[in-house]
Structures are given as C-alpha cells and as structure tokens.
C-alpha cells in the first residue's frame, strides 16, 4: 500500500486516512482550529530588554529565570537571544519575553533598532566585580533615551555576580546612589548562586526569579501588547500583535 502523503495540503487542512470496508479512503477535512471556532484566550506579553556591557551576565540571568538554572557554558551573544517564560500573576497567565542583547558593539549594530521596538521594561545589568561595567551604565541609559525609552518605561538596575564576594569593586552604597539618581530600584544578585551573599554589609543577594517577577507585577497593571495566540504557542512563530484596548488599533508583525 503506498504511503499516504499530502504534499500539497492547503494551509489549515489535515490529511485524514480512514479505512472503510478494506478500502483506503482519503479525505481532506478542514481543520477547525480553536482560533476559528472561539476567540482564543489572550495572553498578555511583556517585552523586557536586558542590556549592559559584555560579560556582565545577561545571558546567565535570563537563562536562570527562564530555564531555572545556570547555563553550563555561554558565549558572547550575537545580535539578540530571545527567551520567554509563561508566568501566573493573580490568576492571569502572562508571557514574559526577555531579550538578551549583545553587549559587544560589533554584535549589536544591525540589531539595535529591533531591541528597542515596543519595549515594556528595561533591565540594566552591571557586574559588581567590574567597575568598568558600572561606569558604562550612563551610556546604556543614553542609548535607551535615544530610542525614545524614557522614564515612563519601568527600568531596574541589577548588579550581578554577588557570589564573588572577594572581588567586589562596586559597593552597594554607590550603586544605590546611582539607582536613586535615575529613579530605578536596585537589585543585587548572582545568576550563578542566587540568594548567596555574606549576610553582612552586602546582605544576601536577591533571587533572580524575584527580580523578574517584580518587574512583571509592575507591568501587569499596565496595558501592554496583547498576543493573539493561545498560551503555549511557539516562541519562534511569527505572531500578530495588537495594542491594548486603550490604544490605537494599529497592529504589527513581530518576527521574533
């Protein structure tokens, strides 16, 4: 019996092979997707960009939040890496998209415009063991400003690598002063060992999960983009995004 193949099935159809009275009958049935029958449950999505110098731990932080562990090895991000996690806040399922951007200028150039489009929150990261990464923060803030991301977009400051207690170059006081000046909350953490710390002046570091959940809580009260796709859809799909009810009916295609 030749294998049943459906090379040219029209979109939205499914090949159904049925055996009846020992005869092979092939029938195409229109697949009535949930999307066609019912309005799909809408999942609000939050796009959060994570920026900072190369090597501060952006990939490790986003991986820690989305995969729940520290990556075994990382390489410099080229362009952008995209991770997402479905979380539940007050009974509502929300998709958090973390855009892990390249810290190295040569890997950013062609992508910068994409990073800053339709952003809901910004996470600035520095490495507590690198004064240089802390000194770069004003430049990252400036880049955000140039892409029309001002104070209306929630922003937080994260000092990473708090597990490296003996190599700290950026004091909590200094970082707090900077955060206050720029009206951002400060979190100190370790993607490698969240919750670590000396329990002394630096205290225990914040949990990575708690940091991103705090941002998500803050965003939940806003009206972000609505994703017209049932929860659980592939993150690599091209999805149509619409603005929330209070905003214009403009829509975008997001090839994320």
Ligand X SMILES: Nc1nc2c(ncn2[C@@H]2O[C@H](COP(=O)(O)OP(=O)(O)OP(=O)(O)O)[C@@H](O)[C@H]2O)c(=O)[nH]1
Closest CA to 80 of 96, 97, 68: 97
- 116-134 burial by CB neighbour count: b if 16+ within 10 A, else e? beebbbbbbbbbbbbeebb
Contacts (Cβ under 8 Å, ≥6 apart) of 251: 240, 241, 242, 243
Binding-site ranges for ligand X (CB under 6 A): 54-60, 74, 76-77, 102-104, 160-161, 163-164, 190-192
Residue 74 or 176: the one with the smaller Cβ distance to ligand X is 74
Residue 188 or 241: the one with the smaller Cβ distance to ligand X is 188
Q: How far is the CB of 27 from ligand X (least distance, A)?
A: 51
Q: How far is the CB of 96 from ligand X (least distance, A)?
A: 18
Residue 78 or 240: the one with the smaller Cβ distance to ligand X is 78
Q: How far is the CB of 212 from ligand X (least distance, A)?
A: 15
Q: How far is the CB of 165 from ligand X (least distance, A)?
A: 10
Residue 95 or 161: the one with the smaller Cβ distance to ligand X is 161
> Is residue 160 within a helix (H) or strand (E), and if so which, with residue range?
strand 155-160
Closest CA to 97 of 65, 142, 74: 65
Give me the residue whose beta carbon is nearest to ligand X: 103
Residue 131 or 164: the one with the smaller Cβ distance to ligand X is 164
Closest CA to 191 of 50, 55, 69, 53: 69
| Cα→Cα distances 52→23, 55, 74, 146, 198, Å | 65, 9, 16, 16, 25
Q: How far is the CB of 129 from ligand X (least distance, A)?
A: 8
């Amino acid at each position: 019996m030749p294998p049943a193949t459906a090379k040219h099935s029209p979109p939205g159809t499914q090949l159904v092979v049925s055996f009846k009275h020992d005869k092979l009958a092939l029938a195409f049935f229109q697949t009535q997707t949930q999307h066609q029958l019912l309005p799909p449950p809408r999942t609000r999505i939050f796009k959060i960009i994570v920026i900072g110098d190369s090597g501060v731990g952006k990939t490790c932080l986003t991986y820690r939040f989305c995969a729940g562990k520290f990556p075994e090895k990382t390489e410099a991000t080229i362009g952008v890496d995209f991770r997402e996690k479905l979380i539940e806040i007050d009974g509502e399922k929300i998709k958090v998209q973390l855009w892990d951007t390249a810290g190295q200028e040569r890997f950013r150039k062609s992508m910068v415009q994409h990073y800053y489009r339709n952003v809901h929150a910004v996470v600035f990261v520095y490495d507590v063991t690198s004064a240089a990464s802390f000194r770069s923060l004003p430049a990252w803030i400036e880049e955000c400003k140039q892409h029309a991301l001002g104070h209306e977009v929630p922003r937080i400051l994260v000092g990473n690598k708090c597990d490296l207690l003996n190599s700290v170059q950026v004091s909590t006081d200094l970082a707090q002063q900077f955060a206050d000046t720029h009206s951002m909350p400060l979190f100190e953490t370790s993607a490698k060992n969240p919750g670590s710390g000396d329990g002394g002046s630096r205290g225990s570091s914040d949990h990575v999960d708690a940091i991103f959940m705090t941002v998500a809580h803050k965003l939940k009260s806003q009206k972000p983009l609505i994703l017209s796709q049932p929860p659980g859809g592939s993150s690599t799909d091209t999805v149509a995004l619409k603005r929330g009810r209070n905003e214009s009916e403009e829509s975008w295609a997001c090839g994320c």
